[in-house]
Structure 1
């Protein structure tokens, strides 16, 4: 089954407070305008994925205007509007009707990831083991408070737990992308439905919590990019370092 790509662009971008969608911030290493969102789109194209689903909120019409139907970029784009963006699981669930029966390659829109073919490698890794439902693309970090940190069995890569943005951690690997089977889309859908049923709490839903049952069943694996690099460009500090190639 050919994967469909899923890119969540429904966040408010409050950390940068730009007058345009943060995903359209220019790639400072190119001689002509290309937004950082194109890193992720190009990685999906390189992985052979031609149908991409993008979730947006109503204030991000500039993304739709720039990307159009995707033909200019060699892909087909579908958009899902997340009217009240609250959390990543809810943003993903907005696309439930398009991904429910699909294998999904999932990556963030405001990141710089190396190697450039990380998604292709992740898709191949996922297909190698029919027992797994989710494969996490993992990268080393020394800043655990920004990421979902992954504990796994060293030899097999079986994931034991994911800890979301711990204040400190001895773990070295964070997840930065995923490939999942249709069952996980159903898991997210039920997770969001159950958490929001009669719940007036403003507590943000965490994607790693939706993984918990599959982790318990040992159906989640970590694919490590030992020479990879993952950079979250959601803050000015990271953009400044990235612009200097630091």
Structure 2
């Protein structure tokens, strides 16, 4: 999911950009089953002016385990841990500068949420974190942990002291609590602006909406005279728009073909996508997908790479699917 594009850029790339903008030039990416795809997408990091190395984790054993296996790479240097499926619109530069100035054992990023029972929550006293509770049943506050942390070398002792949780993982919240229990300072930093964990479709679409809303209009593809392009729209070089309406905020990737179609607000159309005789809105359509001749508008959807969706004028009328693992399909009735 870290490689799913939001506004036609993989979620992971936003994190790498934020790290690079904060002046950090050495990045270790902990990888597992999807390491081949991540290595292919990220490479050596040179396009961002950073050096990327890959740290292999044999199984998903928890965030604290990811810290533990990174000890040889990190040494005794302070470091940022940035979860690859998180998006922050204000970056982490100020967060890093505060850590450098204060030099606590750890600094955690927090944001106020309406449903703290769904998150790890921090309890503060006198500007310091005194307790962390994972998905509290009884309210202790509304400050949830965001997936960005900074640590000094003391955390390595903590990740070695803790034991696996009920889900058999070494939890980063337990490691941070161990720092607190040992009398070390854990500082909070409250997020300014929005934060999104893109683990669910709804959050991914919301992140897509928020980022598209920041785009500046740029038309580099071919748009014929019968088409209308309205508002904040990016049409990349090599894209073709014929007899269609594009209503922003929206982005159309290079090589895409939009023919006799409607692309509505908050939609990202990937590279080499074809949309023909179809309406799509508030959706993400990945590279190489094809949507043709659909009778109803496609909304609130994530369409994967090289997916083909079309309407067949054959009888008897029936649904035919070929769906991958964990797919979801909504049918009107």
Fold conserved between structures, TM > 0.5: yes
1:157–1:223 contact (8 Å) kept in structure 2: no
Residue 220, structure 1, aligned to residue 186, structure 2: yes
Give unmatched runs, 5+ long, in structure 2.
211-265, 267-333
Q: Which residue of 2 aligns with 1:3?
A: none
1 CA distance for matches of 2:12 and 2:158?
Answer: 27
Out of 126, 150, 160, the position equivalent to 2:130 is 160
- What are the within-5 Å matches in structure 2 for residues 89-108 of structure 1? 89-108=64-83
Q: Which residue of 2 aligns with 1:187?
A: 158
**Residue-by-residue CA offset, 1:174-212 (whole Å, 9 max, x unaligned):** 222211111213322x136xx26xx9x753332111122
Residue 150, structure 1, aligned to residue 122, structure 2: yes
Structure with the larger RCO, 1 or 2 (CA within 8 Å, 6+ apart): 1
Bigger share in helix? 1
Deviation at 1:167, TM superposition (A): 4.2
2 CA distance for matches of 1:191 and 1:243?
Answer: 40
Q: Which residue of 1 aligns with 2:85?
A: 110
2:6–2:204 contact (8 Å) kept in structure 1: no
Q: Which residue of 1 aligns with 2:31?
A: 56
2 CA distance for matches of 1:86 and 1:127?
Answer: 29
Give unmatched runs, 5+ long, in structure 1.
1-21
Which protein is bigger by CA-based radius of gyration? Answer: 2
TM-score (norm 1): 0.78
Bigger share in strand? 2
Aligned residue-pair number:
209
Deviation at 1:158, TM superposition (A): 0.8
2 CA distance for matches of 1:166 and 1:137?
Answer: 18
1:114–1:228 contact (8 Å) kept in structure 2: yes
Deviation at 1:75, TM superposition (A): 0.7
**Residue-by-residue CA offset, 1:75-115 (whole Å, 9 max, x unaligned):** 10010110122211112222121113110011111111131
2 CA distance for matches of 1:57 and 1:91?
Answer: 11
Alpha-carbon RMSD: 2.1
2 CA distance for matches of 1:141 and 1:235?
Answer: 16
> Which stretch shifts more, 45-54 or 162-171?
162-171
2 CA distance for matches of 1:146 and 1:204?
Answer: 18
Q: Which residue of 1 aligns with 2:316?
A: none
Q: Which residue of 2 aligns with 1:141?
A: 113
1:24 is paired with a residue whose SS is coil
1 CA distance for matches of 2:194 and 2:132?
Answer: 19
Deviation at 1:44, TM superposition (A): 0.4
- What are the within-5 Å matches in structure 2 for residues 1-246 of structure 1? 22-28=1-7, 33-116=8-91, 119-130=92-103, 132-153=104-125, 156-167=126-137, 169-176=139-146, 177-188=148-159, 190-191=160-161, 195=163, 203-216=168-181, 217-225=183-191, 227-245=192-210
1 CA distance for matches of 2:3 and 2:42?
Answer: 10
2:154–2:179 contact (8 Å) kept in structure 1: no
2:10 is paired with a residue whose SS is coil
1:144–1:167 contact (8 Å) kept in structure 2: no
> Which stretch shifts more, 169-178 or 47-56?
169-178
